[in-house]
Amino acid sequence: MPDTVTLIIWSIPVLFAITLHEVAHGWVANIFGDASAKMLGRLTLNPIKHVDPIGTILVPASLLIMSSGFLFGWAKPVPVNTRALRSPKTDMLWVALAGPVANILMCIFWVVILWIANSIDQSLLLHMAGAGIFINLLLAIFNLLPIPPLDGGRVVSSLLPNSLSYQFNQLEPYGLFILIAIMFLGVFQAVIWPILVWCLDFLSLISGMSIKGFIFTNLL
């Protein structure tokens, strides 16, 4: 079982990562004419409004109990009514990208916090920042996989011609099963993990800190 410190280190970054990811979708949708998320009170940083029983509670709790070394989860998706968007196909591209972009921005935020924590030698904040960098990069990369209903699937659908977009969208009911299948086939290790490592190397280079080394040594 994880101790209280480990729970704090991972749960706060995970909660903010999945909450802001969903708020970003709803915020951009609202800009382009769909006020669904706003009317349902989902454009809020209150995490209770975004809790998904499985993705926000069951999955992270299971990973903690199994001492997996890190937390992962997702929030309840914000509603997006594509028919309310001013230009549904084009606008959906930006709505879909908003979530991963929010995670990338949060990753940069945690890099700054890591630098500050390192400067003042604050161990708990240092480890939390490392967790924030890791989980936000992982969420951004994972969600950009070109599989509906992930954000990457929405992006591909927006870029395809209408006839091909329609056919591609027919995969959405099977998206979860496709994800499970490709995970069992080792796609995570072959695709997502190398991209994640490259991003950590890049952040280490531009920040002048050994971010990858710190995360791999102290958190994973």
Number of other residues whose CB lies within 10 A of the CB of residue 121 = 8
Residue type, 1: M
Identify the CA nearest to 133 among candidates 97, 155, 115, 109. 109
Q: Catalytic residue among 10, 22, 130, 154, which?
A: 22
d(CA 47, CA 41): 12
Could you confirm whether 22 is annotated as catalytic?
yes
Rg over alpha carbons for the chain, rounded to the nearest Å, is 18
Identify the CA nearest to 11 among candidates 21, 198, 3, 143. 3
Residue type, 191: V
H helices of the chain, in order, are 4-31, 36-39, 59-65, 88-120, 123-143, 151-159, 162-169, 175-184, 187, 193-207, 211-218
d(CA 192, CA 69): 18
d(CA 80, CA 83): 9
Residues classed as catalytic? 22
